[in-house]
Amino acid sequence: MRKAKRADSAKTPRDVQAVFDDIKATRKVADVNNFWRYLARDPALLKRTWEGVKEVMRPGELDVLTKEMLYLAVSITNGCGYCIASHTAGARKAGMTEAMFGELMGVVGMANETNRLANGYRVPIDPAFEK
């Protein structure tokens, strides 16, 4: 059965529980979402992935909203349904308004279009871009 693939909370191994606890504390949420539950099937993968996500999504030179929108733009380009749903939610939580989302969609759509126009015409890179 499909459900059996999620970690059963009654039997969560200690190393998995430690990651879950850190996710909940870092994000100030009551529970972890399905992505982390499925990754828990391989505790080393879960731990490495969470530590990577935690590090890259931390506010730095770019704020959290910008980072969430970049994550969403990549997920839309790749057509990952789960990731689009979760990062649309994440970007909204970080402050993305409906109008901002509309503009993001405009840029993502246009970039996917012009990427193929540049491919198709085999446009050589301008020397100015190499500096």
For residue 8, state whether it binds a copy of itself (rule: CB under 8 A): no
Pick the stretch among 9-17, 19-27, 105-113 that binds a copy of itself (CB under 8 A).
105-113
DSSP state letters, 66-130: HHHHHHHHHHHHHT-HHHHHHHHHHHHHTT--HHHHHHHHHHHHHHHHHHHHHHHTTPPPPGGGG
For residue 93, state whether it binds a copy of itself (rule: CB under 8 A): no
For residue 113, state whether it binds a copy of itself (rule: CB under 8 A): yes
State the minimum distance, in angstroms, from the CB of residue 34 to a copy of itself.
5
By CB under 8 A, what part of segment 35-64 binds a copy of itself? 35, 38-39, 41-42, 44-45, 48-49, 52-53, 55-57, 60-62
- Please give the Cα distance from 15 to 90 (Å, whole number): 26
